[in-house]
Amino acid sequence: MPKDIQARLDFDSIKPEKNTFMSAELKKSETDVLFSVNLDGKLGYIYTLIEHQSTPDKIMPIRLHRYLLNAMEWHITMKKSSKSSTI
């Protein structure tokens, strides 16, 4: 991770989230981990994807974007549900 990003992170705030953003069939060959972290005093996320591949996957950028969009959708849903539970 670039040093300028590291300087903005509160490493004491990092915690793993319990979600996965992959389809069930892909969970057999890969795993993903989402961490929440304070970034400049605001909620941020670090997403990691771990996968063993013996050949290049030309659509990997598309798959990765799909996972990231799923994570963003989860974040928006969680914010909406936390607002409605405080009303």
- What are the tens digits of pLDDT across the range 26-61? 666 567 888 999 999 999 999 888 877 788 889 889
CA dihedral 6, 37, 70, 24 (to 10 degrees): 100
DSSP H or E segment with residue 64: helix 60-85
Q: pTM for this structure? A: 0.69
Residue 87 has pLDDT above 50, yes or no: no
Host domain of residue 27:
3-85
Element (H, E) at 61: helix 60-85
Number of domain units in the chain = 1
Rounded-to-integer distance, Cα 14 and Cα 46, Å: 9
Q: Who's near 46: CB < 8 A, 6+ residues apart? A: 14, 34, 35, 37
